[in-house]
Amino acid sequence: MKNDVQINRCLEKAEEAFEEDKLIKALDLYNKVYELSNGENIESTINLALIYDSLGKPEKAKEYYRKALSIDDYEERAYYGLATIYDDEGKYEEAIDLYNKAIYINSNYYAAYFFLANAYDVSGKKNLAIETYKKLLSLNPMDFWANLNLGSIYEEQNENNLAYRLFSKALKIEPNNYLALFNMGIICYKFNMTEKAINFYEGSIKKNKNYAYSYLNLAVIYKYKNTKKGIEILSAGINNCSEVHFLYYNRSCFYAIINEENKACEDIIAALKLYPKFLKYILEDEELEKVRESNSFKEFVNKYNS
């Protein structure tokens, strides 16, 4: 009885520290509960796993999730917690199996469905991802990310009408979300609604000036009909974004179109310095044929290969 009182007091203090994000204090208190209960208190075990994961100690977190399952092999949170760690490690098959175990125990485990759908998607199991996102939307039709992500899969598969409906719904849920605006730009351009696509890409840039793909897609619209405007857009992206290697590459192609080979060469070299794997594509790109003939490019490649 006295031990139970101690455990409950420690648990209360640990939960309070956890809620206040005092992780080290919470860790000490949950460890005390774990010891007092001889490793039989499920809440302290689950929370120890959560804290170790938050502290960047995934192996220790796995250890405690497994201990939780040794206490109760129907503990859905432990399966889900383990799954998220394997997911972060890129071990998608293990993650998928564990998400499904959590869902088997709790058929309405919303978070498990969401991350299961994403794991299916990134591991190339598109049909299973679609089914899982549909399940999510049956549980909550107003889930912004489920609508957006499912729309993206349909867009990849050229199921453009379905994608358009889902992107439109996502945009109604979050009208100012830059990714929803960006994706609407993609689908409108596919439907040859060029002005609408331009408006959506411009809207995406206004909402997030650091998203490089909005600049790229917008610039591509102008590539041949107003190349200089496309260059201005790519330049703005290079100035505002951190991920810019492909913006340099594309701007070099734009410069090549208007016969500014020196500037094109400068951009190609900048792109290669940031992303050396581009060299394979540069050596095959027809638009860059004259650039490859320049002395500056040849000198850089010789240094690169030496």
Taking CA atoms, 172 is separated from 147, 193, 195, 209, in Å, by 11, 19, 20, 21
From 143, 182, 145, 150, select the one nearest 165 (Cα to Cα). Answer: 150
CB count within 10 Å of CB 180 equals 27
Task: Tell me if 108 sits within 8 A of 120, measured CB to CB.
Answer: no
pLDDT classification of 1: cutoffs 50, 70, 90: very low
Residue whose tokens read 């001889």:
38
**Nearest CA-CA partner of 39 in 67, 72, 6:** 67
Mean pLDDT over 117-121 rounds to 98
| pLDDT confidence of residue 127 | 97
The pTM for the full model equals: 0.86
- Residue 169 pLDDT more than 70? yes
Interatomic CA distance for residues 81 and 258, integer angstroms:
54
Per-residue model confidence as pLDDT tens digits over 179-230: 999 999 999 999 999 999 999 999 999 999 999 999 999 999 999 999 999 9
| pLDDT per residue as tens digits for the range 46-81 | 988 988 898 899 999 999 999 999 999 999 999 999
* Residue 37 to residue 128: CA distance in whole angstroms: 42
The number of helices, as runs of H, and strands, as runs of E, in the chain is: 19, 0
19: which residues sit within 8 A by CB, 6+ positions away? none
Residue with the bigger pLDDT between 280 and 234: it is: 234
pLDDT at 4 over 90: no
C-alpha 199/C-alpha 67 separation (Å) is 54
Return d(Cα 191, Cα 164) in angstroms, integer: 10
